[in-house]
Structure 1
Amino acid sequence: MLLSVLLLLVGHAKAGYNGAVFTYSTKDVQGKKFSVMHRYKLSYSSYEELELRCTSCSNTEESIGEWCLGEFASKWKNMNCGSYDDGLNTGNWIDNRNSISTSLAQMFVEVRNRSDINKPNSSPQTRVLPVVRVPSNCPRNISLLTFDPDGDEVKCRYASSSLECDTCTPPSVFSLSSSCMLSFSPTGSSSEGPYAVQLMMEDFPREIITLTQNDGSISLRNTSSALSKIPVQFVFKVDPAAPSCTEGEYLPKFLSPTPEHGAQIFIDVNQTLEIPIRAEATQSVITELLFSGPVDVVKNSSGSGHFTLRWTPSGDENDESHPICFVVQANVTSSVYQSVHRCVVVTVGNRPTVTSTTVVAPTIPLTTSNPPPRTSYLTVLKLKISTMLSLKDNHEFILKAIKDELIRRGLHPDIKVHLVHPVQWKLKKQLPPSG
């Protein structure tokens, strides 16, 4: 496809590929015509190699001596409803423990008109740092961002076919759930080193829908049929054991007002966004903030563990959702320690509208001091939830899931969620598989 003429593959250059993430968004819908914005994030060992391999990439961020990250964006105008593949050979992976050499990144683009939203599909929007690190003795759950602008269910799996990977050996040091959670358990020093991670992220409709092409032909999609497929590739590095796995000691710990993972932020074109990021580490020295985001995000530091990301979106980013992912990194002599991996989603020029069947009433702040006035609200929502879980045994987990979804839809991370009694709760019985 398009990128094949933009990449200069250097056959005898040192292997230095660290991964890639491809996404696409549909916009400017006018009847049957629309635009598709393709965004390709590519990472190599150095800025020089990135320049050699991707002549049209804009540099976004780098970790000195380890990796450099760039982005190429292409807007395809006056598109017709259809579907197609977009992939490329990105060179050779860095040396890794699962013996993967040649890389291959492939995206499946579905842009036929959807019956449920009456416009073409957009892929899940996600990002990941090129190198994610964890000490060999520390458990770590890495939750990949799974934001879908169409509200679809997002799932992850290992790349598995010849169109998705050249060598498809998954890393042996962690497990992957369909909800895009990577779980690492402590292991021995014999497992230390870098691993090449090759995942596919897919979006699934939440109900049966039809997809209509320009010629009027219709295809059916159910809830188990993937719409689009995007590659998520990076290096997972198992480092030597840390003296302690407690967050805030050697491993940096995020502090308020750092936004929570998955928070959605709304902003207008030409409006400047500031994302404060705070972290502490009492037994190591915080050295840098590493991030992956739009090419013109600016990073500032105002002291150890005090960072700010600033971004002013232009008209080119309008009507899109842009992930920004980050980690804080610390050092003790030659040892490197990373915080957990966090991401937020910034939606430009497409603020949600609130239609109210909600009951809103002011409440009295419970305070005995005299802080600046603050307004609180009680909002009552009537929700229908389907789950296999028991409310009695999973009360806190269910509340957290509801809160996370409300934050994803734009509410403030400080909201408190309570179930108002009486609650009608019907346990859905699991049916045996058919056939």
Structure 2
Amino acid sequence: MMSLSLMLLLLLVCSSQADYFMGTVMTYYPKNTNANGSVTVILRYKSQYQACVYKTWNCLNVNFNCGTENSLTALRVSEEKDESWCQAEVTSTRLVPSNAQFQLRLDGVNWINNIVNGIVSAKAVTVVELRNRSDTGRANRSPQTTILPSVRVPSNCQRDFSLLAFDPDGDQVTCRYGNTSLSECDPCTPPSVLSLSSSCTLSFSPTISSQEGPYAVQLVMEDFPRQTITLTQTNGLQTLKTTSDAISKIPIQFVLRVEPVVPSCTEGLYLPKFLPPTPDNRARLYTSVNQTVEIRIKAEANISTISKVMFSGPYKIFNSTMGPGYFSLKWTPSQREDGESHPICFVVTAVHNGASYQSDLRCVIVSVVDRVVLSTPEGLYLPWFLPPTPDNRARLYTGVNQTVEIRIIAETYISTISKLMFSGPYNIIKDTMGPGYFSLKWTPFQKEDGESHPICFVVTAVHNGASYQSDQRCVIVSVVQNTGSSLQLTLTHLPIPWVGSTCSWRAIVLLVFQLVLPFQLLD
């Protein structure tokens, strides 16, 4: 007998044929890997229509390695009847037979009427990459982003839309327009009134009144490794990915409405202007399971009147008005969101003489972390180390002319990670791979053969003019004989028992720290 929830699902899918499409976004998080190699993955996509309906995605793979969909829920995020849109978050839990790459496609629906750039049929593609990465030792995770179904701009005003582009693996995230030949949209004609940077900023320049109206924006967001990595499948097959190779791709599609002119483009007159304590665009916030995170938003407009805040994000965001032009968005993650990062975007609207005006778009990323990070000094102001940062006193191995790399990740909740400081042998190369993500590389010469060299490091963070430092971590790098063309022990992390050699090693570490560190700080 068909369950009520399934009947409702079928009704919603059918009804989507008569309700017009206003874009979509899909992201994913891998979860459990089972003993037989199968993987559980959670896919979340925004369903954006003129009514609160949705349509499911289809498997694109010929061999149907998209697996089995074990559960599907569709929950309304936000509905704006005067804007004629509704956004739902659809969560699909799939069990796939292996971590092999697969693709999903959305099609069979039409965009809203009168799209200026001539798009009628909707199509979107997601490439889901779950293979294990050599740099993190974990399954790949998609970039995280979201968008409102519709954003508006007056035709006479310059405006930049800096989309949220966060990657949990620290990858380089880029955006491009969809490609018709890759079946990423149908067709993929970009709006003539927009220009797009690879860093995911859409720029609108003033245009003539004949160019006013709704445009379909069809983008693809991709993640690229910051150095060459290997992706390993559960059957042992490996694929090399260079910094020029996209790992996965997700769609970002929405409607841009170019509206009639506004008397002044100066923010704070007709167009709402954000004020503190509104977070900066692309700010990163932290919370933990069952702990509520609050985003306070304040805006002003001296001529028009602030009316409301509109948002996109995870299900169950609570929106409240705290005063004129003062709003609060609250979200409490559940256990299933533990370890994930969720995007939230918002705009504020104002009205004047029957016209409605929109602020610029702001987005934040909310990371759901272990509660211990939020309840101790480390992780608030003091940097908190995260994997793959090696343990203190770990022992690493390399060979002559073989580069050893130490990857270091640190986070803070309130302060901002600023830099990495270190002490060690000559010719260590330091790289910043992303926010709070660093790399130390050292290549020993022949004269270091058979020796062991200490490397110590700390991460610093800043807040309101004050500087805070993490605890100190040190590793020992042993240069061993390189037999053959590859070194068997390279990058092996083994804890070393310092019993019996504590004084000698500590003396070396202390001596190097005192003598070398002042010179390493000269950036």
TM-score by length of 2: 0.67
Query: Which runs of structure 2 are paired with 1:350-365 in the superposition (5 Å)?
Result: 350=370, 354-355=384-385
**Does the aligned pair in 2 maintain the 1:266–1:410 contact within 8 Å?**
no
CA RMSD of aligned residues (A): 3.4
| 2:47 equivalent in structure 1 | 42
Give the 3 Å change call, closer, same or farther, for CA 321–355 of structure 1 in structure 2: closer
Give the 3 Å change call, closer, same or farther, for CA 414–157 of structure 1 in structure 2: farther
Q: Identify which of 108, 116, 121 aligns with 1:97.
A: 116
Give the 3 Å change call, closer, same or farther, for CA 107–5 of structure 1 in structure 2: farther
Structure 1 CA distance, aligned partners of 2:238 and 2:436?
34
**Does the aligned pair in 1 maintain the 2:212–2:260 contact within 8 Å?**
yes
**Does the aligned pair in 2 maintain the 1:137–1:187 contact within 8 Å?**
yes
Structure 1 CA distance, aligned partners of 2:161 and 2:460?
23
Q: CA deviation at 1:63?
A: 1.6
**Does the aligned pair in 2 maintain the 1:93–1:100 contact within 8 Å?**
yes
Structure 2 CA distance, aligned partners of 1:206 and 1:377?
22
Which moved further from structure 2: 164-173 or 31-40? Answer: 31-40
| 1:349 equivalent in structure 2 | 369
Give the 3 Å change call, closer, same or farther, for CA 189–210 of structure 1 in structure 2: same
Query: Which runs of structure 2 are paired with 1:221-300 in the superposition (5 Å)?
Result: 221-300=241-320
Q: CA deviation at 1:410?
A: 12
Q: Identify which of 112, 117, 123 aligns with 2:142.
A: 123
Q: Kindly indicate whether residue 88 of structure 2 is the aligned counterpart of residue 70 of structure 1.
A: yes
Structure 2 CA distance, aligned partners of 1:378 and 1:262?
15
Give the 3 Å change call, closer, same or farther, for CA 274–247 of structure 1 in structure 2: same
**Does the aligned pair in 2 maintain the 1:265–1:410 contact within 8 Å?**
no
**Does the aligned pair in 1 maintain the 2:416–2:462 contact within 8 Å?**
no
Which secondary structure does the structure 2 equivalent of 1:203 belong to? strand
Return the structure number with greater strand share. 2
Q: Kindly indicate whether residue 321 of structure 2 is the aligned counterpart of residue 301 of structure 1.
A: yes
Q: CA deviation at 1:376?
A: 10
| 2:25 equivalent in structure 1 | 21
Structure 1 CA distance, aligned partners of 2:89 and 2:11?
12
Which secondary structure does the structure 2 equivalent of 1:343 belong to? strand
Structure 2 CA distance, aligned partners of 1:6 and 1:385?
57
Give the 3 Å change call, closer, same or farther, for CA 192–415 of structure 1 in structure 2: farther
Which secondary structure does the structure 1 equivalent of 2:167 belong to? coil
Structure 2 CA distance, aligned partners of 1:227 and 1:43?
26
Q: CA deviation at 1:182?
A: 0.4
Which moved further from structure 2: 77-86 or 107-116? Answer: 77-86
Structure 2 CA distance, aligned partners of 1:287 and 1:123?
35
Letter in 2 for 1:64: K
Q: CA deviation at 1:57?
A: 2.1
| 1:209 equivalent in structure 2 | 229
**Does the aligned pair in 1 maintain the 2:416–2:461 contact within 8 Å?**
no
Letter in 2 for 1:58: L
Which secondary structure does the structure 1 equivalent of 2:384 belong to? coil
1:4-43 deviation line (CA, Å, top 9, x unaligned): 98962458725x2111001111234567554311001011
The structure with higher relative contact order (CA 8 Å, sep 6+) is 1
Structure 1 residues not aligned, in runs of 5+: 358-374, 388-401, 426-435
Q: CA deviation at 1:242?
A: 0.5
Q: CA deviation at 1:354?
A: 2.3
Give the 3 Å change call, closer, same or farther, for CA 380–151 of structure 1 in structure 2: closer
Structure 2 CA distance, aligned partners of 1:268 and 1:141?
32
Give the 3 Å change call, closer, same or farther, for CA 219–26 of structure 1 in structure 2: same
Q: CA deviation at 1:415?
A: 6.2
Structure 2 residues not aligned, in runs of 5+: 1-8, 58-71, 374-378, 390-413, 423-428, 438-458, 468-517
**Does the aligned pair in 2 maintain the 1:29–1:119 contact within 8 Å?**
no
Q: Identify which of 170, 178, 198 aligns with 1:178.
A: 198
| 1:370 equivalent in structure 2 | none
Which secondary structure does the structure 1 equivalent of 2:336 belong to? helix
1:337-389 deviation line (CA, Å, top 9, x unaligned): 111101111111255662499xxxxxxxxxxxxxxxxx9999874497879xx
Give the 3 Å change call, closer, same or farther, for CA 133–104 of structure 1 in structure 2: same
**Does the aligned pair in 1 maintain the 2:149–2:254 contact within 8 Å?**
yes
1:252-301 deviation line (CA, Å, top 9, x unaligned): 01110111111111111001111111111111111110000111110001
Letter in 2 for 1:43: Q
> What percentage of residue pairs aligned between the two structures are identical?
47
Which secondary structure does the structure 1 equivalent of 2:323 belong to? coil
Number of equivalences? 384
Structure 2 CA distance, aligned partners of 1:86 and 1:378?
37
Structure 1 CA distance, aligned partners of 2:169 and 2:417?
28
Larger Rg over CA atoms: 2
Q: CA deviation at 1:86?
A: 1.1
Q: Kindly indicate whether residue 187 of structure 2 is the aligned counterpart of residue 157 of structure 1.
A: no
Structure 1 CA distance, aligned partners of 2:146 and 2:332?
19
Q: Identify which of 165, 173, 180 aligns with 1:146.
A: 165
Letter in 2 for 1:26: P
1:381-435 deviation line (CA, Å, top 9, x unaligned): 4497879xxxxxxxxxxxxxx9x9469x997875689xx999867xxxxxxxxxx
Structure 2 CA distance, aligned partners of 1:376 and 1:92?
46
**Does the aligned pair in 2 maintain the 1:10–1:53 contact within 8 Å?**
no
1:292-340 deviation line (CA, Å, top 9, x unaligned): 0111110001222110011111111111100010000111132111111
1:121-164 deviation line (CA, Å, top 9, x unaligned): 11100001111111111100110000000000000000113421
TM-score by length of 1: 0.80
**Does the aligned pair in 1 maintain the 2:17–2:109 contact within 8 Å?**
no
Structure 1 CA distance, aligned partners of 2:461 and 2:146?
22
Q: CA deviation at 1:52?
A: 8.2
Structure 2 CA distance, aligned partners of 1:90 and 1:269?
38
Letter in 1 for 2:140: N
**Does the aligned pair in 2 maintain the 1:17–1:90 contact within 8 Å?**
no
